[in-house]
Amino acid sequence: MTSVLSTPDGAASTDDAVPFIHHLIGGQRTLAHVDRWGAVYNPSTGQQSGAAPFATPADVDAAVLDAERAFAGWSATPPLRRARVMFRFKQLIEEHTDELARLIAAEHGKVVADARGEVQRGLEVVEFCCGIPHLLKGEFSENVGTGIDSYSLRQPLGVCVGITPFNFPVMVPLWMLAPAIACGNTFVLKPSEKDPSSTVRLAELLVEAGAPPGVLNVVHGDKVAVDALLAHPRVQAVSFVGSTPIARYIYETCAHHGKRVQAMGGAKNHLIVMPDADLDQAVDGLIGAAYGSAGERCMAISVAVAVGQATADALVERLAARVRTLKVGASASDGVEMGPLVTAAHRDKVAGYVDVGVSEGATLVVDGRGLRVDGHEGGFFLGGCLFDRVTPEMRIYQEEIFGPVLSVVRAATFDEALALADRHPFGNGVSIYTRDGDSAREFVSRVQVGMVGVNVPIPVPLAFYSFGGWKQSAFGDMNQHGMEGVRFFTKQKTVTSRWPTGIRAGSEFVMPVMK
């Protein structure tokens, strides 16, 4: 097998070979064309560990046509049998949780325990999809007109596509592929080129679970592969999760090509700390939500809004002590709370935002730049950073940083805090910490954000609810998983039927109405 090694600046060498990570098409590992590829790193060491071949439009075409061939048989497979594949898939994911978690950690950089949590949250979507015969039940009304019955049913769309981000290489693909496939579609997945090994392994488990060849194909690639998928006439629907500029592009391009689309984007999630909040609970919540997975979560909290100066002073003091003592290290090391960032380029981008915050006049209370981890000097590490006195016009407040950087904004009142979350262009998640039921209820009712927590720092809905933000955090009408996922991956048909033994109506030239 061909192998390549590249330096972080992209120069290639075959001296020190590292393996290509295969596509999975028709149930088989394949490499297709390898003229272009992306380097995959172990972020804890900074060493390249693999290379993702970039699919050409011809490779994409082969994957889509293979999925289309599989559609006839799979869509005709009774839902109960499709559910049995889901049950086996669930069992295999459980058996391989540790393997998947270690693959995630080795290429993403999150700590292994966190990666296990990711697998578990993805598994819950598969568990939900085990109930697909029930979820696909339609509606039936007898005698809507004399001798006439009416019913609705949900049918699969055909070949559906998923395009996923680096930060959840197992969970986010499962948000999409599990409902799509359980509903009777076939699926082509284009995972992130930065950490694709766990995604390919996951797809192999579905094949092992009994999904026929072509029901799930995985192709690696960059914009070239994505554009080929978006324009492909045989692709019926596209589910995307990633950054906002690309989400908007996917949404607009799919609309242009007449495809169904859901596109989830970036975030700037606020956590409001009211003066009556349990401060210990708020600090615990903030530390995990801001620095877990090195802040590389779309539901990470990146803004803490303290209501009142006394709340702010106490909050910053307690946060600073915790951020200074965060245990940062290699993702597979014991006792580590935060691993490295995904790539050197991303680490540098996040560190650049810390420079920006300093130049904008925010108070850098804890500076994680320049952190070295003994024995892992080449790793893409950045220590936890904490800013105080951040104001709404600053870039570090406006833009998504996607790293271990928490900004504290000081607000005078509840209304001011609420307005901050409301006016921010992103609207993915938000949380309030308070003991006051009135404030909490008013906040939940008024806030212009899609997912809301009350004394819960990361309000990610469980699999049987649906996931999705508002404003610049999501484009399209339907959210991920839960019943919204089932609706997105099916089209509704409504039937009105009469049998010849009924009343003979004769020809009617006026709009039919119930008599």
The tokens of 75 are what? 């869509």
Least distance CB 122 / ligand NAD (angstroms): 12
380 contacts ligand NAD (rule: CB under 6 A): no
- Which string of x and - marks every residue 171-210 that binds ligand NAD (by CB under 6 A)? -x-----------------x-xx-----------------
DSSP string, 56-68: PHHHHHHHHHHHH
- Helix (H/G/I), strand (E/B), else coil: 2: coil
**Whole-Å CA distances, 394 to 316, 361, 390, 407, 513:** 19, 9, 7, 11, 61
Q: Which residue in 160, 183, 298, 385 is the catalytic one?
A: 298
C-beta of 156 vs 165, nearer to ligand NAD: 165
- Helix (H/G/I), strand (E/B), else coil: 23: strand
399 contacts ligand NAD (rule: CB under 6 A): no
CA 314 to chain CA centroid, Å, is 34
Of 25, 216, 246, 271, the residue at the interface with ligand NAD (CB under 6 A) is: 246
With 0-12 / 13-18 / 19 or more C-beta atoms within 10 angstroms meaning exposed / middle / buried, residue 445 is exposed
Least distance CB 375 / ligand NAD (angstroms): 28
Of 63, 178, 298, 351, the residue at the interface with ligand NAD (CB under 6 A) is: 298
Single-letter amino acid code for the residue at 124:
E
How many CA within 13 A on the CB side of residue 59?
27
The tokens of 140 are what? 């039936």
Alpha helices in 424-505 (DSSP H): 437-446, 482-488
100 contacts ligand NAD (rule: CB under 6 A): no
Of 21, 130, 177, 226, the residue at the interface with ligand NAD (CB under 6 A) is: 226
Q: For the chain, how many helices (H) and strands (E)? A: 16, 24
Nearest Cα to Cα of residue 477 among 135, 237, 299, 313: 237
335 φ/ψ angles, rounded to the nearest 5 degrees: 75, 5
C-beta of 48 vs 192, nearer to ligand NAD: 192
The tokens of 52 are what? 């993702």
- Which string of x and - marks every residue 469-508 that binds ligand NAD (by CB under 6 A)? x---x-----------------------------------
C-beta of 136 vs 301, nearer to ligand NAD: 301
- According to DSSP, the β-strands at 470-471 and 426-427 are antiparallel
Of 61, 149, 222, 416, the residue at the interface with ligand NAD (CB under 6 A) is: 222
Of 44, 48, 164, 239, the residue at the interface with ligand NAD (CB under 6 A) is: 164
Of 242, 339, 383, 482, the residue at the interface with ligand NAD (CB under 6 A) is: 242
C-beta of 322 vs 346, nearer to ligand NAD: 346
With vertex at residue 394, the alpha carbon angle to CA 392 and CA 399, rounded to the nearest 5 degrees, is 90
Longest dimension (CA), the chain: 87
Least distance CB 268 / ligand NAD (angstroms): 9
162 contacts ligand NAD (rule: CB under 6 A): no
428 contacts ligand NAD (rule: CB under 6 A): yes
Alpha helices in 136-271 (DSSP H): 171-182, 197-208, 223-231, 244-256
- Helix (H/G/I), strand (E/B), else coil: 166: coil
C-beta of 248 vs 498, nearer to ligand NAD: 248
Least distance CB 250 / ligand NAD (angstroms): 7
C-beta of 198 vs 428, nearer to ligand NAD: 428
Q: Which range touches ligand NAD (CB under 6 A), out of 101-109, 262-270, 381-389, 431-439? A: 262-270
Answer positive or negative: Cα dihedral of 455, 460, 464, 469.
Answer: positive
Any catalytic annotation for residue 298?
Answer: yes
Q: How many chain residues touch ligand NAD (CB under 6 A)? A: 27
Of 81, 137, 223, 493, the residue at the interface with ligand NAD (CB under 6 A) is: 223
So which residues are the catalytic ones?
A: 298
Q: List interacting residues with ligand NAD (CB under 6 A).
A: 163-168, 172, 190, 192-193, 222-223, 226, 241-243, 246, 264-267, 298, 400, 402, 428, 469, 473
